[in-house]
Amino acid sequence: MDNIKVSVIVPVYNGEEYIQTSISSIINQEFSENYEIIVVDDGSDDDSLDIAQELLSKSDIPYKLVHQRNSGVSVARNNGIEVSRGDYLVFVDSDDYVLTNHLSELYNGKTDFTLTQMAKEGSKSIVNSISYPEVPISAHDLIKMELRMIIPEFSFCQLIYKADLIKDNNLKFDSEAVYGEDTEFALKALSYGESVAVGEEITYLYIQRNDSATSKSGLKRFNFIETLENLSKFYKSGGQNELADLVITSRIPRAIFGNMNYFFYHGYDFDEVMSKMDDLDLFSKLSKFKGDSKFKFKIRLFLLNPKLYYKMWKKFKNTI
């Protein structure tokens, strides 16, 4: 089958418990255009690949099964991009699933990207429900909204990407990153495009497992700061100084503070968190925040007396 409009890339590693639901949801799309499914097995030692192959072999959807030695999800996604034939790229994690209108909501064949809505499994609420000033919006404006974190819990899986923008610019997921490589990929990709259509329907169902790579990353979540610093350098090298500055003065401080509170919420030792922040020079990076006065006050309160802030946080949780 020629004229593939969309390539759906699914990396999988030991996902036999979830892969059937995920692959079946992609097969059962109500989509009038031709699309392919690319499953990249990252060295699984369970039945993930066999389950995927059985499902795909019984469908009429063109598919590819790619096997690699265990190298991580970023390498798997990059290998999926390399063998893809579609005009557009869509990414679905093997433990998530999509509704039957996912591809039809994402694909229009006109804009460089489309942003669909995402919800957590079991919820009817959109994860990052906001009002967009205009539709379609410029990719530049969407980047600024993410860097200011106007869009909470933004996920790269919500986007469809024009394949030429990715391939012509040799854009890849960072295989060295422990956390946040997917956000970095999306924010780089958007910088190469112009327009983003926005769908109103929830089409992507996200599942956060306790044993996922993200949930097990621990204090390495702070490594996202280095990823963001590299993103700032990327924007600056391309002459996009406004975006480069926003990374430093908005996105990085918010990432530091958000991850710090995440560690507090999950019972990490205060001194251990502070020591890690000191090692990574996060206190000075936190002080560079420019933005709304309420968040700035929180940062000032913390920097003035971290231990006092921690005690207040424990008492009042997220109210400060």
Say yes or no: 237 and 94 in one domain. no
CA distance 254 to 108: 34
Q: Do 132 and 13 share a structural domain?
A: yes
Query: Among candidates 140, 156, 148, which has minimal Cα distance to 247?
Result: 148
Residue 113 maps to which CATH number? 3.90.550.10
Instruction: Supply angle C-alpha 220, 221, 223, rounded to 5.
Output: 70
| Domain tally, the chain | 2
Same domain, 176 and 94: yes
Q: Does residue 152 sit in the same domain as residue 29? A: yes
- The range of the structural domain enclosing residue 163 comes to 6-206
**pLDDT recorded at residue 48:** 94
Whether 212 maps to a domain, the answer reads: no
What is the per-residue pLDDT for 218?
83
Q: Are residues 17 and 64 located together in one domain of the fold? A: yes
- Give the residue from 176, 206, 236 where a domain finishes: 206
Note whether 51 and 149 are same-domain residues.
yes
- Domain identity same for 69 and 167: yes
- Residue-wise pLDDT tens for the chain (320 aa)? 579 999 999 999 999 999 999 999 999 999 999 999 999 999 999 999 999 999 999 999 999 999 999 999 999 999 999 999 999 999 999 999 999 999 999 999 999 999 999 988 766 556 666 666 667 999 999 999 999 998 877 899 999 999 999 999 999 999 998 889 999 999 999 999 999 999 988 999 988 665 444 444 689 999 999 999 999 999 999 999 999 999 999 999 999 999 999 999 999 999 999 999 999 999 999 999 998 899 999 999 999 999 999 998 888 865 55
Q: What pLDDT, on the 0 to 100 scale, is given for residue 320?
A: 56
- Residues 174, 55, single domain; the answer is yes
Instruction: Give the DSSP H or E segment for 40.
Output: strand 35-42
- Residue 106's contacts (CB-CB under 8 Å, 6 or more residues apart) are 6, 88, 90, 114, 116, 159, 160, 199, 203
Co-location of 183 and 267 in the same domain:
no
Reduced to 3 states (helix: H, G, I; strand: E, B; else coil), residue 310 is helix
Q: Are residues 153 and 173 in the same domain?
A: yes
